[in-house]
Chains A and B, each alone.
Chain A
């Protein structure tokens, strides 16, 4: 099956620093990757959609200058949380959609990255 990895799985940083999270599709090419944020006992909230080689599309209320997304290749997207603050602490999950993904255009999810900002 399609596998999506994320790195790191867990990161703790100090307030004011920047953190980069990588999302990779391991055995397929992903034209589109999605970044979600999930707070405890809450649902996944879409932050942005990124297409390879173009600028990401951010959801309303998500600061694009704070959450930098780069989708440089068909297998890699990165999310950088700049000048992180404690309220940015959350579970960040990416998903990837394959080329020619059929009628469902299924998204395959990564295992998530737990960010804690002190």
Chain B
């Protein structure tokens, strides 16, 4: 079983739709949760990160963490064609020997069509 599971999609939505992206994880040591956006043939860029359970909002993006269920989500409101990319969840523990090491989900390919 992978430590982080993410549905690879692909996911295709019309412009303006609300997009929901999700990851589940099995390692209870994970404390930091991140969402990255990766355009084709580019490196990932950090969109949002959260530390505790709950919601965090930034513009059209909302990140949600439920540690009890080991489940994280990213919601995109009013999706735009420019949001078309691969979205990767990533997470890491608080420190120790694996300090800084990120574990990524497989990534979900999102296409927002006009």
Chain A interface residues toward B at CB < 8 A? 4, 6, 32, 34, 41-46, 49, 91, 93, 95, 97, 103-107, 109-112, 114
CB distance from B85 to the nearest CB of A (A): 13
Bound together, the chains give a CA A111 to CA B42 distance in angstroms of 5
Q: Are B46 and A106 in contact (CB under 8 A)?
A: yes
Q: Are B88 and A44 in contact (CB under 8 A)?
A: yes
Contacts A41-B8, A104-B49 hold; do A109 and B101 have CB atoms under 8 A apart? no
Question: Binary interface profile of B, 14-53, with partner A (CB < 8 Å = 1, else 0)?
Answer: 0000000000000000001000100001111110010100
Contacts A41-B8, A49-B100 hold; do A104 and B41 have CB atoms under 8 A apart? no
Contacts A41-B8, A42-B106, A43-B106 hold; do A105 and B100 have CB atoms under 8 A apart? yes
Bound together, the chains give a CA A87 to CA B100 distance in angstroms of 28
Chain B interface residues toward A at CB < 8 A? 6, 8, 32, 36, 41-46, 49, 51, 88, 99-107, 109
Give every chain B residue within 8 A of A109 (Cβ-Cβ). 36, 43-45
CB distance from A79 to the nearest CB of B (A): 14
A-B contact pairs, 18 of them (CB 8 A): A32-B100, A34-B101, A41-B109, A43-B88, A43-B104, A43-B105, A43-B107, A44-B88, A45-B104, A46-B103, A49-B100, A97-B100, A104-B49, A105-B100, A109-B45, A111-B42, A111-B43, A112-B41
Q: Are B45 and A107 in contact (CB under 8 A)?
A: no
Q: Are B101 and A44 in contact (CB under 8 A)?
A: no
**Contacts A4-B43, A42-B107 known; 12 new A-B pairs at CB < 8 A:** A32-B100, A34-B102, A44-B104, A46-B101, A49-B100, A93-B43, A104-B49, A105-B100, A107-B102, A109-B44, A112-B41, A114-B41
Give every chain A residue within 8 A of B49 (Cβ-Cβ). 104, 106
Bound together, the chains give a CA A40 to CA B109 distance in angstroms of 12
CB distance from A38 to the nearest CB of B (A): 9
Bound together, the chains give a CA A81 to CA B99 distance in angstroms of 25
**Which residue of chain A has its CB nearest to the CB of B97?**
A57
Q: Are A103 and B51 in contact (CB under 8 A)?
A: yes
Bound together, the chains give a CA A6 to CA B42 distance in angstroms of 11
